[in-house]
Copies of this chain bind each other. A is one copy, B any other.
């Protein structure tokens, strides 16, 4: 009889182990599902921070005569005699850039999000990014736009517009746009 008891005990233990395994497997599945769910949340956060922050309406696509790729310029302060200053925003999609151009009284660029390039004629490309403020001297040919992979949100301030606003030139070629031309 003691053999029977021993057998029963062993059988119950096995059953229990089996039950335990089922519980363990269920636990593992639930925990995995929850970890995946948590990770999905984290991924969403990371994606959100990778998107550019928009402050102003995107506006209409800029003319192909002035921009290469998809650039969206929006005037914020139109020319007037009191402030003597023009302010606007441009959203450049990745790869988009302005033509070469110059400003009789210079220009100030304020980068509010993303990564882009700015180049003064004859100098290497500078990398510009969120928080940067760039001064472009009067009557100097330059271009600016997004990096190849990340877009650019930038404000521009054109001071002293009584001296003139902008003189447009030719498009920036793919070769000129190449980051191989960069100083960073």
Interface residues of A, Cβ cutoff 8 Å to B:
1, 4-5, 8-9, 12-13, 16, 19-20, 23, 27, 30-31, 34-35, 37-38, 41-42, 44-45, 48, 53, 55-57, 76-77, 82-85, 87, 105-106, 108, 110, 112-113, 130-131, 133, 135, 137-138, 155, 157, 159-160
A-B contact pairs, 6 of them (CB 8 A): A5-B5, A27-B27, A30-B31, A45-B45, A55-B113, A82-B138
Could you tell me the distance between the alpha carbons of A108 and B45 in the complex, rounded to whole angstroms?
34
Give chain A's interface secondary structure class.
Answer: mixed
The closest CB in chain B to the CB of A24 belongs to B23
- Residues of B within 8 Å of A20, CB to CB, are 19, 23
Complex CA gap A83/B53 in Å reads 28
Please indicate the chain B residues that have their CB under 8 angstroms from the CB of A82 in the complex: 106, 135, 137-138
Residue of B nearest to A88 (CB): B133
Closest 3 CB pairs of A and B: A85-B159, A1-B1, A34-B34
